[in-house]
Amino acid sequence: MKRILFVCTGNTCRSPMAEAMFRAKTAGQEFEVRSAGVAAYAGQPASAHAQAVLAERGISHAHESSQLDEALIEWSDLILTMTNNHKHAILTFFPAAADKVHTLQEFAGVEGLRDIADPFGGALEDYRRCAEEIEESLDRLLERLMEVRFRK
């Protein structure tokens, strides 16, 4: 899998953090990474707290939100959502994508599957906790992708 799409609601908090963090983890590898929202207003920057959390991690990300659409669905090899509701929304509007849509934690093999809570409107600490949860899932995701890659 080369093209990974992270999806949340407005594409200003969770999915941009996941996109930027995964891109940083896989720099120089064969991954293309994007993010989008199921209810996004195109062209919005990442929230100030999301940008601050990324900066604390040494990650620069000039983000503009994108609305999930058919072109992004077709572009992606793997679509990873932050919640089950996002997954179900995608499957409702794009049923042909069923084989490549998963929650991030589901695909990464995180035990006790749970949604990644939306920090929108919360304090900086809420964004830090969210980023920690995303990072744990991304580390597991990368391990899984490497296992699949080297099994072939």
Q: Mean pLDDT of residues grouped by 10 in the chain (152 residues)?
A: 94 98 95 98 97 98 97 98 98 97 95 91 98 97 85 58
Which pLDDT score is estimated for 111? Answer: 84
DSSP 32-70: EEEEEETTPPTTPPPPHHHHHHHHHTT--------B--H
Q: What angle do CA 10, 11, 13 make, to 5 degrees?
A: 100
CA distances from 45 to 34, 63, 108, 117 (A): 14, 5, 27, 20
Q: What is the pLDDT of residue 150?
A: 61
In whole angstroms, give the CA distance from residue 152 to residue 148: 7
* pLDDT for residue 148: 76
Residue 122: per-residue pLDDT = 98
Residue 118's pLDDT is 97
Give CA–CA dist 48/7, Å, rounded.
19
* Spatial CB neighbours of 99, under 8 Å, sequence gap ≥ 6: none
pLDDT of residue 151: 64
Distance of alpha carbon 94 from alpha carbon 100, whole angstroms: 11
Active-site residue numbers? 8, 14, 118
Residue 22: CB atoms within 10 A of its CB come to 25
* 10 half-sphere exposure, CB direction, 13 A CA radius: 12
The two three-digit tokens of residue 104, written as one number? 């991030």
Point out which residues pair with 79 in neighbouring strands. Answer: 5, 101
Question: pTM value?
Answer: 0.96
pLDDT of residue 149: 67
> Where do the domains of the chain lie, and which CATH numbers do they carry?
3-151 (3.40.50.2300)
